[in-house]
Structure 1
């Protein structure tokens, strides 16, 4: 039993030493960022939120959010979106009311509060920005 442990330890040590030697022979590692680590990073172009409402591109598309949500708390304990968009507040705040489907549970029962399955708004709704597509595509909006 002791002999097997000693042989295993020696084998692992030999492999580690061989790996270290191979790594040193490999030479300089090429950078993934395309520049030296000491060089300052250049920030990409910033696309700001567009306040006008964008049209929907297809039937049943979740509406885009026409305002910033950078500092909104949306977690298991709080959802700041509901401060304006819940049916109890929307009229006073001049905000669109949530669809009544957001108040249905999985069995289709009507609730007085937002269903847990619809709690995380940014799961479906995203802030709108007039930015170019990240990848080329051939998508065309429906009529």
Structure 2
């Protein structure tokens, strides 16, 4: 390349970078939660857990958890959900028992204990919350047929 063209390009690059930086600093960011990023918002104002069972929206939907699981320990050694919902304890705790599918291994063999693939309950089951939708949704529940 010729020297004047290289000199012009070298002088233009910092100007472009600085103007891009200034433009980025002047942009306003809108938070989905309706508050400034540095403004504290109490969690109770964002959502509240809903007690009692909510109807499922489609046939194979995993049930929502009708109680808070905030302090529940679910890790490799402990799963507090099983202290009430395992088939051996559900009756005495008056809790729904796990589906028998949770006691099948990958090959369909029945197990006495929950399958490792179903051990981490909150992969599929989430607490119910009365929270505003983050994104507009046009989903309609199935008719139940």
TM-score where L is the length of structure 2: 0.72
Does the 8 Å CA contact 2:52/2:67 hold for their aligned counterparts? no
Q: Which runs of 5+ in 1 are unaligned?
A: 1-21
1:15-58 CA distance string (max 9 Å, x none): xxxxxxx9889569458767xxxx96131633111112100000
State the distance in 2 between where 1:70 and 1:141 align.
28
2:101 is paired with a residue whose SS is: helix
Aligned length: 122
Q: Which runs of 5+ in 2 are unaligned?
A: 1-15, 31-36
Partner of 1:79: 79
User: Within the alignment, does 1:41 sit opposite 2:39 as a pair?
Assistant: yes
Please provide the CA RMSD for this pair. Answer: 2.6
TM-score where L is the length of structure 1: 0.73
State the distance in 1 between where 2:92 and 2:62 align.
23
Partner of 2:8: none
Partner of 2:12: none
State the distance in 1 between where 2:123 and 2:38 align.
34
State the distance in 1 between where 2:64 and 2:142 align.
17
